[in-house]
Amino acid sequence: MISTGVRRGTIISTTEDLQSQFKQLRMTETAQALPGFLREAEQQSWTYQELLVAICDHEEQRREEKTRQKHLKWAQFPFEKSLEDFDTTESVSISKRQISQLRACDWLDQTFNLVLLGPPGVGKTHLAIGLGLEAIDQGKQVAFVSMGELITLLKTEEYVRKSAIRLRRIRQADLVVIDDMMFMAMETREANLFFQLVSDLYEKSSIILTSNKGPDSWGKMLGDQGIATAILDRLLHRCEVIHINGESHRMKHRESVFT
């Protein structure tokens, strides 16, 4: 049996005592895995240092995995598709080199925004989610929301607890993905609420917008040119506009009930 040391003058002689200590230190992952580590240490004749390294590596890895799962839950992606699955051969307007540059996420540290423009079905949402997953893998907090859902959240924030919680996470995120921007016209109150959110995020968080309408038509959709100008001023101040062209993936790979 591996010697377990001394604490406050009392010999700790059981694995259960050590597990209890690890739990008190909030190292629950180590507490659960400890018996296996002790057995392997005896079988492989590990040094004390090798055992400590194995324990610390395990605790760090499990904490990172749990944090990633928590951030994935908070992000609320409608689906998960990686950048590896994004087919640049079907989109002549964005290259593998550009995808690699975006994957590095340096633009997040500079609070740059991305606007992904193109017709329906060309992969705008796929690309946005892929970048969101990369950001989470790099320890960033991400929030995904469709424009329609976002307007509902903003209008109900004051009296619906779930809306308030969701918007708090959106405002705290390092990256906010807003899908289907300007898919429908807004009322004046909705436009004002959206402007306030953009102001809250300005130079604090990066934003990815997907839209099938260019910024030059947003003023008409917002219903107020003054609000549209103020929103565009903040969104496009530090921004890369990416046009994604090509045939709709959904139409190209559609299935039929007929054979």
Q: Which pLDDT value is given to residue 182?
A: 66
Q: Residue ranges per domain, the chain?
A: 6-68, 83-252
Amino acid at 98: Q
Q: Which pLDDT value is given to residue 12?
A: 52
CB 201 within 8 A of CB 176: yes
The whole-model pTM stands at 0.77
Q: Judge whether residue 37 has pLDDT over 50.
A: yes
Q: Judge whether residue 223 has pLDDT over 90.
A: no
Q: Judge whether residue 61 has pLDDT over 70.
A: yes
Q: Which pLDDT value is given to residue 36?
A: 92
What is the mean predicted confidence (pLDDT) over 54-70? Answer: 88
Of the candidates 225, 226, 150, 142, the one whose C-alpha atom is nearest the C-alpha of residue 184 is 150
Amino acid at 200: D
Distances (CA, A) of 258 to 248, 254, 255: 21, 12, 9
Q: Crossing angle for the helix pair 124-137 and 48-75, nearest 10 degrees?
A: 150
Q: Judge whether residue 90 has pLDDT over 80.
A: no
- As given in the structure block, the two tokens for residue 127 are 């690309």
Distances (CA, A) of 64 to 31, 60, 194: 17, 6, 34
CB 102 within 8 A of CB 169: no
Average pLDDT, the chain: 85
List, in sequence order, every residue forming a beta bridge with 156; answer none if it has no partner. Answer: none
Q: Which pLDDT value is given to residue 86?
A: 83
Q: Which pLDDT value is given to residue 141?
A: 95
Amino acid at 3: S
Name the residue with higher pLDDT: 184 or 165: 165
Topology of the domain comprising 83-252: Rossmann fold (3.40.50)
